[in-house]
């Protein structure tokens, strides 16, 4: 008897509120971005690595040239060699990132580890290009695996910018390359970003 009453109640509710009981259409899955200037290009909960001669333009591509300041930063830049030049960007562009300045490889990895484990930072860019190669090679390989596990736990996207491949557990490795010449010194940065060639070296889940 109780089941019949419940069925009758459901029927009346459907008649009175048809929109609330309508089937919800499944949203079509958006295609993944083809260029790494959108955080969605990189898998969540993993470490990705960007290498190559054009790696220094990754920050420019991510920041873009917005017309208005952002209320909150879109990502964190952990600057391993303190090489980011905010004066070369507009205030509107700089409002999109939180800049963490580091002077040593140890400071850089400690900062990245804290941010990844925080769980409230969805996209972290770790720039190692300003760190001497010998200092990077002196880092224990286990530190990268520790960051990988932390990224998996927090679900953040951690992207490492490197002069050459160095992250053994990178799920995605992308090469940004471009032929530079003296004539390019006067070319606007947005045009240089558009001329970058993106070569995907590896895209798989690292074990």
pLDDT tens per residue, range 71-100: 999 999 999 989 999 999 999 999 999 999
pTM given for the model: 0.78
160 DSSP β-pair partners = 49, 126
Domains of the chain, first to last: 36-203 (3.40.50.300)
Kindly state the tokens that stand for 117: 């484990």
pLDDT in tens, 134-155: 999 898 889 999 999 999 999 9
Contact indicator for 50, 174 with CB cutoff of 8 Å:
yes
Task: Quickly state the pLDDT bin for 180 (edges 50, 70, 90).
Answer: low
Q: What is the pLDDT of residue 53?
A: 80
- Of 132, 72, 139, 88, the closest CA to residue 112 belongs to 139
Helix (H) or strand (E) holding 157: strand 157-161
Helix (H) or strand (E) holding 191: helix 189-195
Please report the sign of the dihedral spanned by the C-alpha atoms of residue 150, residue 155, residue 161, residue 162: positive
pLDDT in tens, 26-35: 444 556 677 8
């Amino acid at each position: 008897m109780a089941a019949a009453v419940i069925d009758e109640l459901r029927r009346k509710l459907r008649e009175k509120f048809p929109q609330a009981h309508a089937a919800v259409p499944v949203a079509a899955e958006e295609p993944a971005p083809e260029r790494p200037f959108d955080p969605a290009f990189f898998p969540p909960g993993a470490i990705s690595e960007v290498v190559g001669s054009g790696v220094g333009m990754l920050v420019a591509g991510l920041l873009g040239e917005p017309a208005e300041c952002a209320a909150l930063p879109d990502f964190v830049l952990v600057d391993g060699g303190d090489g980011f030049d905010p004066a070369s960007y507009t205030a509107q562009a700089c409002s999109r990132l939180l800049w963490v300045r580091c002077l040593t490889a140890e400071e850089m990895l400690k900062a990245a580890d804290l941010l990844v484990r925080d769980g409230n930072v969805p996209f972290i860019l770790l720039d190692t290009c300003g760190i001497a190669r010998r200092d990077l090679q002196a880092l224990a390989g286990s530190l990268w695996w520790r960051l990988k596990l932390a990224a998996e736990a927090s679900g953040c996207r951690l992207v490492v910018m490197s002069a050459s491949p160095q992250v053994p557990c990178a799920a995605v490795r992308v090469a940004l390359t471009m032929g530079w010449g003296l004539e390019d010194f006067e070319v606007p940065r947005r045009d240089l970003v558009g001329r970058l060639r993106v070569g995907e070296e590896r895209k798989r889940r690292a074990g």
